[in-house]
Chain A
Amino acid sequence: MSVDDTRTATAGTTAATDEVATAAVLGALASGARPDRPSGLTTSLTFGWRALLKIKHVPEQLFDVTVFPVMITLLFTYLFGGAIAGSVDDYIQFLLPGILVQGVIMITMYTGVTLNTDIQKGVFDRFRSLPIWRPSALVGMLLGDAVRFTIASVVIVALGLLIGFRPEGGPLGVLAGVALLLLFAFSFGWIWTFLALVLRTPNAVMGVSMMVITPLTFGSNIFVDPSTMPGWLQAFVEVNPVSDLVTGVRGLMNAQPVGDHVLVTVLWALALVAVFGPLTMRRYAR
């Protein structure tokens, strides 16, 4: 009897019940021929699809890319606006690109937390036992996160426009700024994938992430011009990649000269992937 015969003979009897039909299992086994091996791009995009499915089933996880950015944008604009720039209107032109960077950088840490949770549940055992391009599970995850970062960016920019942000660079300038930020965030995410594989619990990942993100975002030019800071802090702000990113995004959005800050940001992004990509994969392949 051919495979197809087995299947048609049993298909009708099994559909409605909770029973395992041995003949149908045999049929399924017999028809499990192997397709051609998919490309790394296909498998990465498939994992990206998985990340989007998770958003669909657990929409609460969009909280951190919607409510949180709204909160910090409103808080910092109205808290510091008057004191720092004399008026909220003046300050938001300066602050919004920075708070956009801050918001997205802060939510990158959920990448690590999610991955760590995933690994503890065992589903990564399945992924790691599949004959696919090894980094694709992680790349796909970061691609899915890029969607979350985009949502956060849209929320922050839209809110900014609503409360007085008037970017000189126009829509193209804003898009270019967001694109630069997304590139950096994707690369930055590799730090968290690495931590997620090294640390034991999601809480530990969260804790270490905060320790890294807090100085990087607050010790930068996001909120104020560094010229009033003491020398040692200026030195840190100067070498902090987030400062280059902020200057780049701010310049692109407000049509100001960006100097070499965009280039430096891109180089940082490449360097982060070059260092933490292989480190992550080494742990992953263990």
Chain B
Amino acid sequence: MTTAIETAGLVKLFKDTRAVDGIDLQVAAGGVHGFLGPNGAGKTTTIRMLATLLRPDAGEARVLGRDVVRDADEVRSRVALTGQFASVDEDLTGRENLVLVSRLYGFSRAGARARADELLDAFGLSDAADRQVKKFSGGMRRRIDIAASIVVTPELIFLDEPTTGLDPRSRNQVWDIVRAMVSSGTTVLLTTQYLDEADQLADRISVIDAGKVIAEGTPGQLKASVGASALHVRLLNPDDRPRARAVLERALGTAVTEDPDPAALTASVDSSAPAMRGIAALEATDVLVAQFSLGQPSLDEVFLALTGHPAESAGTDDEAGAERDAAARGAE
């Protein structure tokens, strides 16, 4: 196994916040490594350090065998970054953006135009090529952003929440692009807030919370630790909840948690069979069930299972903002 990314005790401080608090990571070359966590968990900050945009305050990171501080320039020439916010120039057209990036990579004028056309074509952006990017839809913006990242095929690409805020169709398009990148041999480090996205794309997942990796494994391993699905039950009468909880716990043999909604309960189950047993057990009592559903565990449930507390947005929702704050105070 070749290692694409290797970090030891990576730390980044913004003022008093330990945005990244000792991350140890081993990412194999090839495939998709998922970085799963809520807002403010430190995903973006970690990626920015790995992409040489931020200097770590402590610890070490090697990307494709190169140290991100000492060999920053060498790292830059072999990786690409697609930021959480479109990292293209919104005033320029789609084509101009791609020509700009191509020229910066050293393409000749003609070569840059040809490369831009090829990418616009591949990403279904030919029709919009001469429109300013600020007039693009969210999905198109994300695609032009990814296209700009593969002007020169990178060995490793960082995709920072590539589908946040996209509609399902655009999200599927981005997923297709990610799969194409993987099949052409590029290693992908993908951050996401969505468990199903990590499940769809990633070979391995690191779950990150409050600047630390709290779990790591294949999607299968992760889900096994959480339960494959979540059973949600809503009672007609909130007063019945303690009784219903006891019945369900007996039938399922696992812990059942009480939701913020005073009439609702949630339990993780491995499959639909125990869920049906649970519902049947409730049916046998006089507790009235208003509704029930079986679905993928949400990120909250993953966190609840892994940490015992729900996913919290750690105050520093806007990491970039915190970073600028620190900069404004003259902190180096």
Chain A residues packing against B (C-beta within 8 Å): 7, 10-11, 14-22, 24-38, 42-43, 46, 49-50, 53-54, 57-58, 121-123, 125-132, 197-200, 283, 286
Flag if A29 contacts B127 (CB, 8 Å): no
- Shortest CB–CB separation between residue A175 and chain B, in angstroms? 30
The answer for the CA separation of A157 and B63 in the assembled complex, in Å, is: 55
Contact residue among B73, B77, B324 (Cβ-Cβ distance under 8 Å from A200): B324
Flag if B327 contacts A129 (CB, 8 Å): no
Given the interface pairs A20-B173, A30-B153, A126-B88, the reply to whether A35 lies near B111 with Cβ below 8 Å is yes
Among residues of B, the one whose C-beta sits closest to the C-beta of A286 is: B55
B52: chain A residues within 8 A (beta carbon): 128-129
B151 CB within 8 Å of chain A: yes
Flag if A125 contacts B126 (CB, 8 Å): no
Flag if B124 contacts A21 (CB, 8 Å): yes
A126: chain B residues within 8 A (beta carbon): 81, 83, 87-88, 101, 148
Flag if A123 contacts B88 (CB, 8 Å): yes
- Shortest CB–CB separation between residue A174 and chain B, in angstroms? 33
Flag if A14 contacts B132 (CB, 8 Å): no
- Shortest CB–CB separation between residue B218 and chain A, in angstroms? 24
Flag if B119 contacts A28 (CB, 8 Å): yes
The answer for the CA separation of A37 and B76 in the assembled complex, in Å, is: 12
The answer for the CA separation of A29 and B188 in the assembled complex, in Å, is: 14
Contact residue among B92, B124, B152 (Cβ-Cβ distance under 8 Å from A50): B92
- Shortest CB–CB separation between residue A283 and chain B, in angstroms? 8
Interface mask (B50-68 → A, CB under 8 Å = 1, otherwise 0): 0111110000000000000
Among residues of A, the one whose C-beta sits closest to the C-beta of B149 is: A126
- Shortest CB–CB separation between residue A120 and chain B, in angstroms? 8
A26: chain B residues within 8 A (beta carbon): 180, 183-184
B248 CB within 8 Å of chain A: no
Flag if A14 contacts B121 (CB, 8 Å): yes
What 5 A-B pairs have minimum CB-CB distances, sorted nearest first? A32-B153, A131-B77, A24-B122, A35-B106, A126-B87
B96: chain A residues within 8 A (beta carbon): 53
B273 CB within 8 Å of chain A: no
The answer for the CA separation of A22 and B123 in the assembled complex, in Å, is: 9
Tell me the residues in window 172-196 of chain B with beta carbons closer than 8 Å to chain A beta carbons: 173, 176-177, 179-181, 183-184, 186
B104 CB within 8 Å of chain A: yes
The answer for the CA separation of A27 and B85 in the assembled complex, in Å, is: 26
Given the interface pairs A22-B180, A24-B122, the reply to whether A50 lies near B100 with Cβ below 8 Å is yes
Contact residue among A25, A30, A122 (Cβ-Cβ distance under 8 Å from B86): A122
The answer for the CA separation of A57 and B180 in the assembled complex, in Å, is: 34
Flag if A46 contacts B103 (CB, 8 Å): yes
A-B contact pairs, 17 of them (CB 8 A): A28-B122, A28-B147, A29-B180, A33-B152, A34-B105, A34-B106, A43-B104, A49-B103, A50-B92, A57-B132, A122-B83, A125-B53, A125-B87, A127-B104, A132-B104, A200-B327, A283-B327
Flag if A131 contacts B76 (CB, 8 Å): yes
B147: chain A residues within 8 A (beta carbon): 28
Given the interface pairs A22-B176, A53-B96, A57-B92, the reply to whether A27 lies near B87 with Cβ below 8 Å is no
B317 CB within 8 Å of chain A: no
The answer for the CA separation of A27 and B55 in the assembled complex, in Å, is: 35
The answer for the CA separation of A21 and B53 in the assembled complex, in Å, is: 32
The answer for the CA separation of A184 and B220 in the assembled complex, in Å, is: 63
Contact residue among A25, A33, A123 (Cβ-Cβ distance under 8 Å from B122): A25
Given the interface pairs A22-B179, A46-B103, A132-B104, the reply to whether A200 lies near B122 with Cβ below 8 Å is no
B118 CB within 8 Å of chain A: yes
Flag if B122 contacts A21 (CB, 8 Å): yes
B319 CB within 8 Å of chain A: no
Tell me the residues in window 105-121 of chain B with beta carbons closer than 8 Å to chain A beta carbons: 105-108, 111, 115, 118-119, 121
